[in-house]
Structure 1
Amino acid sequence: MQKVPHFAREDSQEHLPSPHNTVNMKRRTLAGSCGVGVFIFAFAFIVIAFATPSWLVSDYRITGAKLDRLGLWVHCFRSLPDVNDDSQRRFFVGCRWVFEPFTKGYDEIRGFLLPAFMIATQFF
């Protein structure tokens, strides 16, 4: 005699939901739809912010610009003077990671280079 699996038995039909036990789902309100839209919009901007290497790029036609590129994770300078050096003898040139541990004096100007909103963006 062949065994019939449990799900193929005829008496298992009693466990199926009946039309009388259906859950009435409410439609999303206007505020809920706006909330979902704002979330998608903000999420897209966050993805773009993390994916783009440079948020601010200096025009190549400007000859005296001290900043070349400024991004969330990398800063590039043409000739940025140290804000803590009164005699203006130390300059930062080239591209560096924001948290560069090897460049002397770079950790001292990190507060000048990273405003609070950039730190908050890096954190989240």
Structure 2
Amino acid sequence: MDCLFCKIVEGEIPADVLYQDEKVIVFRDINPQAPFHALVIPRQHIPTLNDIADEDCELVGYMLKIAGDVADEHGFAEDGYRTVFNCNTHGGQTVYHIHLHLLGGKPMGWPPYQDTLKTPV
């Protein structure tokens, strides 16, 4: 399989790992969009959110729990943080192995891409 994140899981590609266990790995994003930006990925290869099976639901919930734990460990859980899953091309997914973005360390506006939205005339 030619999956970037599977290669990180297998140790073939180095990553700045912040946490790992038998289910997930958390590592810093190489193109951070916030002062703190990490990815939570399952060790199991699941290409997109559309591919999550019933038996994967516990794993996806676990990813969210670990994101909260990492936010707490890095000192920004109380101030707040953002978690994001992207799905397929229009959702901004570029690596087809589900991953949860964990962003923190600054106030975040909504919508996230305010500068790209056009205001109706």
Query: Normalised by the size of structure 2, how large is the TM-score?
Result: 0.23
The structure whose residues are more often helix, as a share, is 1
Query: Normalised by the size of structure 1, how large is the TM-score?
Result: 0.23
Rg larger in 1 or in 2? 1
